[in-house]
A = this chain, B = another copy of it.
Amino acid sequence: MKKANSGGALVVCSGGVDSVTALYWAKCRYKRVEAITFNYGANHNKRERAALRRVCADSATPLTVISLPLGRYFKSSLLSGADKIPEGHYAADNMKSTVVPFRNGIMLSFAAGFAESNGFGAVVLGNHGGDHTIYPDCRPDFIDSIATAIKCGTWNKVKVLSPFCNITKADIVRFGAQLGVPYKHTYSCYKGGRRHCGKCGTCVERKEAFALAKVKDPTEYEA
């Protein structure tokens, strides 16, 4: 694929399966790709960030780390310590406690201003179809309207790209495996332990995605 020359892409990354696949997706399409990550005070931010640093170092991707003071002002079990994280299926109703209100809006907005300041033409988010039940700021109507807001609200008409918005996490894993995404080095457990707990919503979803994609899961789980 011929890579886009102009502008470049800034990928909002956590260090999990979806955003690291989005990073590899962008690297197939743009000559200039950088990652931006947000430390917003979640239990698992530190592990995610360590994973992301490794992925970025191995793929020669510049990474910017931004600290945002959400933890002090926002209400979410994700900001309240590992023992507050519910166990079970990712799409179940009790997972709503893990919503960090308008997190994707905040991250995309910051990334848009960063992109405008530093000459990127696009920001990329790895949200996917399975996020829609629990996270309102992962749904297509949110993505469409924030994309319009960012296009209207920047002089360079920065684009929002959401390549996985209408596919599943299993589809992402299937696609990423073909690109050689180093899933072994990604991290997504909401509990934030050294190994993935295997029981929280994201762990259950992660296992399920590899199983459905028929891709070998390289993750070491506690359970």
Which residues of chain A from 64 to 110 have a CB within 8 Å of any chain B CB? 64, 66-70, 73-76, 96, 99-106, 108-110
A66 CA to B69 CA, complexed, in Å: 7
Is A113's beta carbon under 8 Å from chain B? yes
Is A116's beta carbon under 8 Å from chain B? yes
A101 CA to B156 CA, complexed, in Å: 10
Tell me which of B68, B101, B112 contacts A112 (CB under 8 A). B101
Q: Indicate if the CB atoms of A102 and B150 lie closer than 8 Å.
A: yes
A104 CA to B69 CA, complexed, in Å: 18
Is A154's beta carbon under 8 Å from chain B? yes
Q: Indicate if the CB atoms of B152 and A139 lie closer than 8 Å.
A: yes
Q: Assuming the A-B contacts A152-B141, A154-B136, are A64 and B73 also in contact, with contact meaning beta carbons closer than 8 angstroms in the complex?
A: yes
> Using Cβ atoms and an 8 Å threshold, which residues of chain B touch A155?
96, 99, 101, 136
A137 CA to B152 CA, complexed, in Å: 7
> Using Cβ atoms and an 8 Å threshold, which residues of chain B touch A146?
145-146, 149, 153
Q: How close is A13's CB to chain B, nearest CB, in angstroms? A: 16
Is A59's beta carbon under 8 Å from chain B? no
> Using Cβ atoms and an 8 Å threshold, which residues of chain B touch A142?
149, 152-153
Q: Indicate if the CB atoms of B101 and A154 lie closer than 8 Å.
A: yes
Where the two chains meet, the residues of A that have a C-beta atom closer than 8 Å to any C-beta of B are 64, 66-70, 73-76, 96, 99-106, 108-110, 112-114, 116-118, 136-137, 139, 141-142, 145-146, 148-150, 152-155, 158
* Additional A-B contacts beyond A102-B154, A136-B152 (8; CB < 8 A): A66-B73, A101-B112, A102-B109, A105-B153, A136-B154, A145-B148, A146-B146, A148-B148
26 A-B pairs within 8 Å (CB atoms) are namely A64-B73, A67-B69, A73-B118, A74-B114, A101-B113, A101-B114, A102-B154, A104-B153, A105-B149, A105-B150, A136-B152, A136-B153, A136-B154, A136-B155, A137-B152, A137-B153, A137-B154, A139-B153, A141-B148, A141-B152, A142-B152, A145-B145, A145-B149, A148-B148, A148-B149, A149-B149
